[in-house]
Amino acid sequence: MAVLRDRAFAILIVLLGLPNCLPMPPPIPLVCGLLLLLVAVQIAAGQESPWLPQRLLRQSVPQEAVTRAVLRAMPVLKRLELLSRPRFAFLETPLALRLIGFLLLSLALGLLVAAPVIGQIPIGVAVCLVGLGLVERDGVVVLVGIVLGAVGLAANFGFAYAIFSLVEHLVWGDGASLPNVHPDAMPR
């Protein structure tokens, strides 16, 4: 039981990242993001074991959904496990784990505002890598997850910026691309 408690946060991180590794409809990244936010705050606060609401713990997931997800994830997990080994032990210190908690907090917020359908994929993969790196005690995998998460966040913020810029242009316009010509001034 002590081993499970030691890695309970890491296992939760992986479980919350997995659904976001595939294109999913909007409620899934939001729910996973909210739960990851709760877990990340606990890690950043230095809590030793995770706490989840009792109502959530009473919920069940259909066995066929779990089986399907595990079968899809196993080939990748097996390859990662072959490459993974304990590295960068300094990432297991309490201070480093708190920093990882804050980084996961930013990834959780990214999941909450991710671009619909595919925007959560790079963040979901990053969350999984961070969790798997913590499970395997492999700091390299954790760092790769953090870098991928930064790229995913940048891509999502770029997408959001493009959308807001387009809306701003359509609503207020800048006068540069659409000339304001009176219909009577048009050549016939």
Q: Which residue has the higher pLDDT, 153 or 26?
A: 153
Least confident of 3-12, 76-85, 142-151: 3-12
CB within 8 A of 111, min separation 6: which ones?
A: 20, 29, 30, 32, 33, 36, 120, 123, 124, 127
Q: Would you say 48 and 101 are in contact if contact means Cβ atoms under 8 Å apart?
A: no
Per-residue confidence (pLDDT) for residue 129, from 0 to 100: 92
Domain residue extents for the chain: 2-176
- Rounded to whole angstroms, the Cα distance separating 116 from 105 reads 20
Least confident of 56-70, 82-96, 164-178: 56-70
Most confident among 78-82, 91-95, 153-157 (mean pLDDT): 153-157
- Rounded to whole angstroms, the Cα distance separating 112 from 115 reads 9
What is the mean pLDDT of the segment spanning 51-57? 77
Per-residue confidence (pLDDT) for residue 6, from 0 to 100: 57
Q: Which residue has the higher pLDDT, 79 or 13?
A: 13
Q: Would you say 142 and 88 are in contact if contact means Cβ atoms under 8 Å apart?
A: yes
Could you tell me what percent of the chain has a pLDDT over 70? 81
Most confident among 54-58, 65-69, 85-89, 181-185 (mean pLDDT): 85-89
Per-residue confidence (pLDDT) for residue 1, from 0 to 100: 35
To the question of pTM greater than 0.85 for the whole model, the response is no
What is the mean pLDDT of the segment spanning 136-160? 91
Q: Would you say 104 and 40 are in contact if contact means Cβ atoms under 8 Å apart?
A: yes
Find, among 94, 92, 100, 84, the residue nearest to 36 by Cα.
100
Q: How many helices (H) and strands (E) does the chain have?
A: 7, 0
Q: For all residues of the chain together, what is the average pLDDT?
A: 81
